[in-house]
């Protein structure tokens, strides 16, 4: 009997907008033979892509001020093209230089309406010392780090989260900006089969657990599951304790920052420590019931890089279907920028670096193989690497061979909630979704208290 026979629960916690190099690029694993493809040394980027010459170093950050990045770096398709390829519109076969991050961010406007400039931009793009993110760093040293996990598309939250659910965004590469755009999208552009429906058809259980907004509810084909399969995040702990966790659990953080209920998504300008707190809560919750923990794989993922620097060029990708030709003629034939990804389980190897290429469609690809689902969703997940024996042991590790009480690493740190002075594109789209469709379970306009 191995992990494929024993694993009965796959839990995915997907947070927001961090690159691999920002969170894990400065991390070193305990085993010298396990080398992450992190930052090779001091990185300097061009200050101006149109006048090469001056280069500005990106710092190795130990300042707690780096917990909050404001303004948000650009992460729409045009921004990402510049970050990867430079100022010219990329053509087929273009070389990815990964040198446009600083110049792109320096043009972002601050609160005064002026560009923030290269010095402030360089500070905001710093690689974080592991002491600033103790929870994810502890998990990385204790389990498997996938250092070639890329966003599924060089775009923002909505298309990348759709890829983890459906292995396609159906040509969608942007975030909906108006109620009319969102209504048109829900009304016809996204009625594709998802991994949730594949699981249900195979007799497997699933649930989406959400903090304040369920972005997955933007998939119109899932509306019929609103009452039974969309649950408050605190319900996750109740079901773990009772041993009633479904086969697949997808967890969404809090996206809104309000007093008493701070955002935990790590989307700038939200405080990174609140995301650390959520990661610790999910891990500690699973580990608190050994019978559940021994049969669970937790995947910690980020939807996209959020405009933060990463040095690894994204590889080409299989277009998911013939329909995927999005805005600006993008054909979904390359992946987005690299993001942090951890495989956490008593079955996971300890302090292991996995260098194989993954993207978010590796989640449905893994679920298909693990739970014996009859078919892939699209060509993309059919080609995606699933998690396999290279990630796992022949027998689970003892409970005392895994970290205990990660919540202690963030205990006593001040909570960071504040009233949003300016909503992000993601927040506006989620509020539009709530206005149009309500919250799963029937509520509208209510802030939900959750971990």
Can you give the pLDDT at residue 30?
A: 93
Phi, psi of 133 (to 5 degrees): -125, 70
- For range 261-290, the mean pLDDT: 96
Contact predicate 335/317, CB 8 Å: yes
| pLDDT value at 190 more than 70 | no
Question: What is the pLDDT at residue 187?
Answer: 56
Query: Please, what's the b/e burial string for 203-238 (b: 16 or more CB within 10 A of its CB; e: otherwise)?
Result: ebebbbbbbbbbbbbbbbbbeebbeebbbbbeebbe
Mean pLDDT across the chain: 91
Q: What is the pLDDT of residue 422?
A: 80
pLDDT in tens, 338-372: 999 999 999 999 999 999 999 999 999 999 999 99
- pLDDT digits over 395-422, tens only? 999 999 999 999 999 998 766 656 556 8
HEC profile for the chain?
CCHHHHCCEEEEEEECCCCHHHHHCCCCCCCCCCCCCCCCCCEEEECCCCCCCCEEEECEECCHHHHCCCCCCCCCHHHHHHHHHCCCCCCCCCCCCCCCHHHHHHCCECCCCCECHHHHHHHHCCEECHHHCHHHHHHHHHCEEECCEECCCCCCHHHHHHHHHHCCCCCCCCCCCCHHHHHHHHHHHCCCCCHHHHHHHCCCCEEEEECCCCHHHHCHHHHHHHHHHEEEHHHHHHHHHHCCCCCEEEEECCCCCECCECCCCCCCCCCHHHHHHHHHHHHHHHHCCHHHHCCEEEEEEECCCCCCCCCCCCCECCCCCCCCCCHHHCCCCECCCECCEEEECCCECCCEEECCCEECCHHHHHHHHHHCCCCCCCHHHHHCCCCCHHHECCCCCCHHHCCCCHHHHCCCCCCCCCCCCCCCHHHHHHHHHHHHHCECCCECCCCCCCC
Length of the chain: 451
Percent of the chain with pLDDT over 70: 91
Q: Which residue has the higher pLDDT, 41 or 337?
A: 337
Model pLDDT for residues 225-250, shown as the tens digit of each residue: 999 999 999 999 999 999 999 999 99
- DSSP-assigned beta bridge partners for residue 258: 261
Q: What is the pLDDT of residue 445?
A: 36
Q: Provide mean pLDDT across the span 259-286.
A: 95
pLDDT of residue 63: 86
- Residue 413 exposure: Cα atoms within 13 Å on the Cβ side: 19
pLDDT score recorded for residue 423: 86
The CATH code of the domain at 3-52+129-437 is: 3.40.720.10
pLDDT at 29: 95
| Whether the predicted pLDDT of 185 surpasses 70 | no
Q: Averaged over 40-62, what is the pLDDT?
A: 89
Domain ranges of the chain: 3-52+129-437
- Residue 186 is predicted with a pLDDT of 64
Global pTM? Answer: 0.95
Q: Which of 83-92, 93-102, 196-205 has the lowest mean pLDDT?
A: 83-92
Contact partners, residue 226, CB within 8 Å, separation at least 6? 217, 440, 441, 442
* Window from 156-160, 167-171, 295-299 with minimum mean pLDDT: 167-171
Quick one: pLDDT at residue 442?
44
What is the pLDDT averaged over residues 299-319?
A: 98
């Amino acid at each position: 009997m191995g992990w494929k026979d024993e694993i009965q629960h796959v839990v995915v916690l997907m947070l927001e907008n961090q690159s691999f190099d920002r969170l894990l690029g400065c991390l070193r694993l305990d085993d010298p033979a396990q080398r992450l493809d992190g930052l090779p040394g001091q990185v300097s980027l061009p200050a101006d892509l149109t006048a090469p010459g001056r280069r500005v170093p990106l710092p190795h950050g130990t300042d707690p001020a780096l917990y909050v990045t404001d303004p948000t770096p650009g992460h729409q398709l045009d921004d990402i093209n510049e970050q990867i390829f430079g100022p010219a519109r990329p053509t087929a076969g273009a070389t990815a230089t990964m040198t446009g991050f600083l110049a792109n961010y320096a043009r972002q406007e601050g609160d005064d309406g002026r560009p923030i400039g290269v010095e402030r931009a360089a500070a905001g793009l710093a690689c974080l010392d592991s002491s600033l993110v103790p929870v994810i760093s502890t998990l990385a040293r204790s389990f498997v780090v996938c250092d070639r996990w890329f966003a599924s598309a060089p775009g923002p939250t909505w298309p990348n989260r759709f890829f983890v659910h459906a292995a396609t965004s159906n040509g969608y590469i942007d975030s909906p900006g108006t109620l009319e755009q969102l209504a048109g999208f829900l009304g016809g552009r996204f009625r594709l089969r998802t991994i949730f429906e594949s699981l249900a058809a195979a007799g497997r259980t699933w649930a989406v657990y959400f903090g304040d907004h369920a972005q997955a509810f933007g998939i119109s084909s899932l509306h019929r599951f609103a009452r039974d399969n969309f649950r408050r995040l605190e319900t996750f702990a109740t079901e773990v304790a009772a041993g009633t966790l479904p086969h697949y659990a997808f967890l969404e953080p809090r996206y809104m920052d309000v007093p008493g209920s701070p955002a935990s998504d790590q989307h700038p300008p939200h405080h990174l420590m609140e995301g650390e707190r959520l990661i610790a809560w999910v891990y500690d919750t699973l580990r608190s019931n050994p019978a559940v923990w021994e049969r669970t794989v937790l995947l910690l993922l980020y939807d996209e890089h959020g405009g933060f620097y990463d040095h690894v060029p994204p590889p080409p990708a299989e277009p998911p279907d013939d329909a995927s030709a999005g805005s600006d003629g993008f054909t979904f034939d390359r992946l987005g920028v690299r993001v942090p990804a951890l495989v956490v389980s008593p079955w996971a190897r300890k302090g292991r670096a996995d260098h194989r290429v993954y993207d978010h469609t590796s989640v449905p690809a893994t679920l298909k193989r693990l739970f014996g689902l009859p078919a892939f969703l699209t060509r993309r997940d059919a080609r995606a690497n699933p998690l396999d024996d290279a990630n796992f042991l022949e027998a689970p590790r003892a409970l005392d061979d895994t970290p205990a009480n990660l919540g202690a690493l963030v205990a006593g740190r001040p909570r960071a909630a504040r009233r949003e002075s300016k909503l992000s594109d993601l927040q506006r789209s989620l509020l539009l979704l709530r206005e149009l469709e309500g919250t799963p379970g029937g509520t509208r306009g209510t802030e939900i208290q959750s971990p």
